[in-house]
């Protein structure tokens, strides 16, 4: 008897009752049918695994599972792929490069503007047309900040400031020369006077020192006296180097040509002499003034300017051409002169007038009469003499001194065509010498009881010495000084 067994059909895994085949119906091993309990147990395991992953994902810093709280709700951020991160970093790097290039371009443009501005100023300075408009920013000094340096026994007649603004050299009617430290006000060295008749033995002056000059490299200091002598010194050590003779009367003016060792000297013998100090040599003599020369100044060009006393003329001497230009305008003896730039100058006279000049005009561009007022009773009034003038180089500021009891600062109008008072600084005594520092931050005044050239009056309450006057400036609104070019 035959028996036929009917096989049950094999179902795919997960279909129907969940029986799976591992290799077909024949010869394959049949897996045990999972019971309901097994299914529930398996589901619990999967659930626990899911719960564990969910818990781990809340750990801070777990890759790709960062979370943030916003408004009390937790939202997952979109994960950044490596490609997206590279793209983001590349964009940041390119942005940084762009910003750096923009800053570099701005700096280069700013630097080019500075260089162009500096070159333009140098060209204007060489042409003598540079006028920095800074008078409007200068403020009156605090009287408590003005210092008096005492050391000379008689009135100070002349002074110079070293090119680095660290030292002042002064000379006096007591025939001595003193080197001062600007910051501390201490005397660093004194060259004492000598007795008359000891010129051959004494290293120093034996007569009133009337003028002095210092070279722009600070290698030479020159001093001139009433005894017709010019002494050359080493400024650093105050040692005597040379002695120049040749003038036939008092030496009243000295000036080194800027950037050179060429020295110009003026005298009461009405002549101008040219010297080469480095080679200890005399060069030439120029004549033209009809009265004693009372003042002299020079800058970079091979020429100098002089005040001719009672001949009433200001003269510009062209050394190479051996020619001169003659200017008229003051009504009295012209006692002092100073260059503002290569083309303009200021002078003062004993008729109380102050004049601004251009070398291209024979008459003053501006003239202030009775610049320091008048003295005496009504009907017998006399203007105060202008005994000293100074100019801040390449600017619109000049200073004038007298024995009126004050020092006065002036503003030169655009193109030096006007002269307006800025402010007065109280100062008792004769103002015999004035000089602005090279940086323009202070003014040095040489003063005393008598005029440097005579003893017409004596102010007993005055003190013989140097006044250091600080000059404060307000910051311009545009942050820089305003240069001006004019014809």
Residue 257 lies in a domain: yes
CATH of the domain at 177: 2.130.10.10
pLDDT band at 67; cut points 50, 70, 90: very low
Look at the pTM and tell me if it is higher than 0.85.
Answer: no
Task: Pick the more confident residue, 479 or 473.
Answer: 473
Domain that holds residue 294: 133-485
Tokens of residue 328, six digits: 């008229």
225 within a domain of the structure (yes/no): yes
Which range is least confidently modeled, 82-91, 136-145, 473-482? 473-482
Question: Is residue 277 a part of any domain in this protein?
Answer: yes
For the CA atoms of the chain, what is the radius of gyration? Answer: 45
pLDDT at 24: 41
Q: Is residue 64 assigned to a domain?
A: no
| pLDDT of res. 68 | 42
**Is 122 within the bounds of a domain?**
no
Number of domains observed in the structure of the chain: 1
Q: What is the mean pLDDT of residues 286-315?
A: 96
Pick from 443, 396, 441, 444: nearest CA to 420 = 396
Is residue 481 pLDDT above 90, yes or no? no
| 13 found inside a domain | no
* 269 is a domain residue: yes
Is residue 56 domain-resident? no
């Amino acid at each position: 008897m035959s028996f036929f067994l009917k096989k049950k059909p094999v179902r795919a895994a997960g279909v129907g009752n969940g029986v799976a085949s591992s290799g077909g119906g024949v010869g394959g091993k049949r897996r045990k049918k999972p019971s309901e309990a097994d299914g529930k147990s398996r589901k619990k395991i999967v659930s626990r695994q899911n719960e564990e992953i969910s818990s781990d994902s809340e750990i801070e810093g777990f890759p790709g599972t960062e979370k943030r709280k916003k408004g009390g709700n937790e939202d997952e951020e979109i994960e950044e792929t490596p490609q997206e991160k590279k793209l983001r970093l590349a964009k940041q790097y390119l942005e940084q490069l762009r910003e750096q290039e923009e800053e570099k371009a701005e700096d280069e443009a700013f630097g080019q503007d500075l260089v162009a501005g500096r070159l333009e100023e140098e060209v204007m300075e060489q042409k003598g047309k540079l006028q920095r408009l800074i008078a409007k920013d200068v403020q009156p000094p605090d009287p408590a900040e003005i210092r008096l340096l005492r050391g000379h026994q008689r009135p100070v007649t002349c002074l110079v400031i070293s090119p680095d603004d660290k030292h002042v050299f002064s000379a006096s009617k007591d025939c001595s020369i003193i080197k001062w430290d600007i910051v501390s006000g201490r005397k660093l060295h004194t060259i004492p006077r000598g007795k008359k008749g000891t010129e051959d033995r004494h290293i120093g002056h034996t007569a009133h020192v009337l003028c002095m000059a210092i070279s722009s490299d600070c290698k030479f200091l020159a001093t001139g006296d009433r005894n017709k002598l010019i002494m050359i010194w080493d400024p650093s050590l105050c040692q005597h180097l040379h002695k120049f003779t040749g003038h036939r009367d008092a030496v009243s003016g000295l000036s080194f040509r800027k950037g050179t060792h060429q020295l110009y000297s003026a005298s009461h013998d009405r002549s101008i002499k040219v010297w080469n100090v480095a080679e200890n040599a005399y060069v030439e003599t120029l004549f033209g003034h009809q009265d004693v020369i009372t003042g002299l100044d020079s800058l970079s060009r091979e020429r100098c300017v002089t005040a001719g006393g009672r001949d009433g003329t200001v003269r510009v001497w062209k050394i190479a051409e051996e020619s001169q230009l003659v200017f008229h305008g003051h009504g009295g003896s012209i006692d002092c002169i100073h260059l503002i730039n290569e083309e303009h100058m200021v002078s003062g006279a004993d008729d109380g007038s102050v004049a601004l000049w251009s070398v291209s005009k024979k008459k003053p561009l501006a003239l202030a009469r009775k610049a320091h007022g008048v003295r005496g009773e009504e009907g017998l009034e006399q203007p105060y003499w202008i005994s000293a003038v100074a100019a801040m180089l390449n600017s619109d500021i000049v200073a004038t001194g007298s024995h009126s009891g004050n020092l006065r600062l002036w503003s030169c109008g655009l193109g030096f065509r006007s002269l307006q008072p800025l402010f007065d600084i109280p100062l008792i005594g004769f103002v015999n010498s004035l000089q602005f520092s090279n940086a323009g931050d202070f003014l040095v005044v040489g003063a005393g009881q008598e005029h440097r050239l005579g003893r017409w009056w004596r102010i007993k309450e005055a003190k013989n010495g140097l006044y250091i006057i600080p000059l404060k400036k307000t910051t311009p609104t545009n942050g820089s000084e305003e240069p001006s070019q004019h014809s």
